[in-house]
Structure formats: C-alpha cells, structure tokens
C-alpha cells in the first residue's frame, strides 16, 4: 500500500510463472477526507484466473467493484458502509 497526502493506492498481483498467467490483479484506491472520514474503491477478481485476462474486455480483469465508507464516531467506535457491485463491468 502506498500513501501520499490523503490518498492510498494498493495492488495485489499474483503471476503464475510456470503457466504464464496473471491470476490476480486487485486494485484499491482510498481517500481520507479528515481524521474521521475515509472512503475506498476496490476493483477485484474473485478467486484466481486459469487464463490471462483480455485487455480489451475489462470484465476479464475485474468482476467486482466494492465501495467502502468509514466514519470514526469516537475513540472506540467506527461505523462503515459497504456496497458491492458484482459483475457490474459485464456489458454483454
């Protein structure tokens, strides 16, 4: 995870050297608005691929988009909201 100012960027990548397959390529984008509020957007593929994704077909790269919002109420309490869009990128 890389942090710069109030922004966060994360990447999880798994590459199968033996078969030459990019099995996982998840991305995370985050923004801290202040010490009490932050939001994240995650692009993920569920499980591990058995074939390489097609750059021209975005749904082969990521099949789930997740948005998160967290608010810190006090020193011991945090609340959050998570919205998951599964297969939102499939436009067939």
**Domain boundaries of the chain, sorted by first residue:** 2-86
Residues 48 and 14: their CA atoms lie apart, in Å, by 8
Provide the pLDDT for residue 56.
Answer: 81
Give the tokens for residue 44. 């993920």
Task: Label residue 88 by pLDDT band (50, 70, 90).
Answer: low
Per-residue pLDDT averaged across 34-48, rounded?
92
Give the tokens for residue 38. 């932050």
Provide the pLDDT for residue 87.
Answer: 65
Provide the pLDDT for residue 89.
Answer: 52
- pLDDT, one tens digit per residue, over 78-87 is 999 999 988 6
Residues 2 and 34: their CA atoms lie apart, in Å, by 18
Contact 31/9 with Cβ under 8 angstroms? Answer: no
């Amino acid at each position: 995870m890389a942090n710069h100012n109030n922004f966060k960027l994360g990447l999880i990548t798994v590459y199968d050297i033996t078969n030459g397959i990019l099995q996982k390529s998840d991305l995370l984008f985050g923004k801290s608005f202040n010490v009490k509020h932050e939001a994240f957007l995650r692009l993920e593929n569920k499980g591990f691929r058995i074939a390489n994704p097609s750059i021209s077909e975005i749904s082969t790269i990521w099949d789930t988009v997740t948005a998160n919002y967290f608010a810190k109420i006090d020193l011991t309490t945090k609340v959050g909201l998570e919205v998951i869009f599964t297969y939102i990128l499939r436009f067939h």
